[in-house]
Amino acid sequence: MQNVSMKALQPFINHHVPITTRGATHRLTSVRSSYRDFFLEAMPSKTSNAANRLAESFSQMLSQQIESIHLQRSINESNMMSMLENKSNVPISSPKENISEKWREIHGSNNWDGLLDPLHPWLRQEIVKYGEFAQATYDAYDLDPYSEYCGSCRYSRDRLFDTLGLTGHGYNVTKYIYATSSIELPRWLERSQLAETWSKHSNWMGYVAVSDDNESKRIGRRDIVIVWRGTVSISEWYEDFQNDLEGFGYGNAKVVQGFLSIYASKCDTSRYNKTSASEQVMEELSKLVNFYQKRGEEVSLTITGHSLGGALALLNAYEAAATFTDVHVSVISFASPRVGNSGFRDELQELGVKTLRLVVKQDVIPCMPGMVFSEYLQNFDDITGGLEWVYTHVGVEFKLDARVSPYLKKGLQFQGHHMLETYLHLVDGFESSETPFRDDAKRDIALVNKETDLLVSELKIPPRWYQVANKGLVQNGHGRWVKPKRDQDDIPDPTLEEQSNQDQNKPSSVLCP
């Protein structure tokens, strides 16, 4: 049976791949078919046809990855409950230590050599910090199709961290990023069902934040973090553009056209994207870097994102490193798909971008695009690495295994294994690839089930529990249920964003009161 992915690969197979490789591809096809049925059966019934078609493509990948041997220790489940009970009165994180002497290594100056396995506790804490910044883009995102602000952030810059309980990280948000897209990306843009909305053409796509004085002291420099929002529905629309590569940057780099379109598109008639996401970010970074360097401070750029956000983080890192040649640029990405060809990978390396790429072994998104195909060709890197059409991962991979956590359900969890909260749970529990889930992991386990049904039922945590009371309706003075108007501060205001853009002298109101 011909599936979408195979069809898409056909031109490559015919024109570029040596005979031996073609044979291998055919052999894989037969292995796949036996596995497919099981995988399709395990998928939730509401999954779309597109996802079903994708599932077929993933099946071969998965059949190699998922082994029948469970690495997991046999943990008595009543023990687990009491373990959890004990944890309920423990702080959700360990005390922070001063990492100012070590920050360059933690951000990859030695390519994370010796820091990953076993995982250095300081690095673990920093990964979780950036991951929680990325998670904020999901938690604050307005996905309600009945909201006139659908596709925006529910809170103003000033309230974001406070509302989500992230002030403890010691950063302040200076800028919101909006994106549009010049090419047709079905299902990418979240749109309100209502006629009157805050914007028809833009979505909130992330933010820029800066470490405050205390945190800067602890981490040894002024850290500017750029956070890119992802989307968990990436598999739904990804196949629509996975084969289109477009030139990017100064050399032979090519990247997935869809990602580039989100990153670089603008539209004169839109309210939020008269400038592109790229321009918005680069302008803000110029101001910030300039501002702090003038004060004699060392500055770093840390770019993070999950899924689609991880892809945008790489594009952004390329541009930032090419612009700010004297600034350390690192990427900490979660569940990122492949973004470009080997030229893109090589040029990122030349630019000195350090990338730590977290991947859950059971998550299929990082295998995109290319999947079976490129996965296979990695074994032939010396032959094919120079071919511009091969999608290539960049940076250092940090692999997590969902089976190690005794708190997670076993078996295929298509969506659950891709969720950022799952990644953060697994990082928190990771000691080394040889040891079981950390006994003293402190992160709240309940967070895993925010948007999934991945925790074992013994934990009594309801699935998909992250929801607002009465879908945001509140009773007015007469007892009528109404959708309250948003606070003026929480309504996206392009005038404000433009003012911030036009004023080149100061980076933001938060930093310069």
Residues 59, 64, 71, 47: what is their CA dihedral angle, to the nearest 10 degrees? -10
- Give me the least distance between CB of 85 and a second copy, in Å please: 10
Q: How far is the CB of 482 from a second copy (least distance, A)?
A: 6
If residue 299 lies in a helix (H) or strand (E), which one and from where to where? strand 299-306
Q: Nearer Cβ to a second copy, position 90 or 512?
A: 90
What is the rounded distance in angstroms from the CA atom of residue 257 to the CA atom of residue 138?
24
Regarding 144 and contact with a second copy (CB under 8 A), the answer is yes
- For residue 293, what is the DSSP state? H
Give the residue, chosen from 295, 480, 495, 513, that forms a contact with a second copy under the rule CB under 8 A. 480
Which residues are annotated as catalytic? Answer: 307, 363, 418
- CA gap 397, 315 in Å, rounded: 18
479 binds a second copy (CB under 8 A): yes
Q: Are 404 and 72 in contact (CB under 8 A)?
A: yes
Shortest Å distance, C-beta 291 to a second copy = 33
Candidate list 15, 295, 478, 485; residue touching a second copy; CB under 8 A: 478
User: Under the criterion CB under 8 A, does residue 143 sit at the interface with a second copy?
Assistant: no
Binding flag, residue 447, a second copy (CB under 8 A): yes
CB 296 within 8 A of CB 217: no
8 Å CB contact between 423 and 398: no
Name which of 11 and 168 has its Cβ closer to a second copy: 168
Residue 312 contacts residue 259 (beta carbons within 8 Å) = yes
User: CB of 269: closest distance to a second copy in angstroms?
Assistant: 26
Q: Which CB, 10 or 193, lies closer to a second copy?
A: 193
Q: Which of residues 39-58 bind a second copy (CB under 8 A)?
A: 45
Closest listed residue to residue 366, CA positions, set 58, 3, 13: 58
Q: How far is the CB of 443 from a second copy (least distance, A)?
A: 10
Complex with a second copy: residue 475 or 504, whichever CB lies closer: 475
Calculate Rg over the CA atoms of the chain: 23
Does residue 327 contact residue 380 with C-beta atoms inside 8 Å? no
- Dist. CA 467–CA 486, nearest whole Å: 18
The rounded distance, in Å, linking the Cα atoms of 185 and 210 is 32
In angstroms, give the least distance from the CB of 1 to a second copy: 25
DSSP class per residue in 462-497: PTT----GGGG-EE-TTS-EE-PPPPGGGS--HHHH
Min dist CB 468 to a second copy, Å, is: 6
Q: Which helix (H) or strand (E) holds 429?
A: helix 420-429
Contact segment (CB under 8 A) with a second copy among 206-214, 356-364, 366-374, 476-484 equals 476-484
Instruction: Give me the least distance between CB of 415 and a second copy, in Å please.
Output: 18
**Nearest approach, Cβ of 46 to a second copy (angstroms)?**
8
Of 193, 378, 432, 504, the one binding a second copy (CB under 8 A) is 193
Cβ-based nearer residue to a second copy, 159 or 483: 483
Among 6, 329, 408, 446, binds a second copy (CB under 8 A): 446
Listed in sequence order, the residues at least 6 apart from 191 whose beta carbon sits closer than 8 Å to its beta carbon are 145, 150, 151, 197, 200
Q: Quick one: the chain helix, strand, coil %, rounded to 5?
A: 40, 15, 45
Contact characters 75-104, a second copy, x per CB under 8 A? ------------xxxxxx------------
Q: Give the orientation angle of helix 277-294 with respect to helix 308-323, to 10 degrees.
A: 50
- Report the DSSP beta bridge partners of residue 20: none
Residues in region 154-173 near a second copy by CB under 8 A: 165
Nearer to a second copy, 13 or 164 (CB): 164
Closer of 367 and 420 to a second copy (Cβ):
420
> Does a cis peptide bond (omega within 30 degrees of 0) precede residue 118?
yes
Beta pairing partners, 246: 255
Write the CA distances from 340 to 25, 179, 379, 405, integer angstroms: 22, 20, 18, 32
> Coil, strand or helix: which one is 422?
helix
Beta-bridge mates of residue 227: 207, 304
- Cβ closest to a second copy, residue 23 vs residue 145: 145
Query: Residue 196: helix, strand or coil by DSSP?
Result: coil
Binding a second copy (rule: CB under 8 A), the pick from 150, 177, 364, 461 is 461
- Which residues are near a second copy by CB under 8 A? 45, 87-92, 144, 146, 165, 193-194, 444, 446-447, 457, 460-462, 465-473, 475-476, 478-483
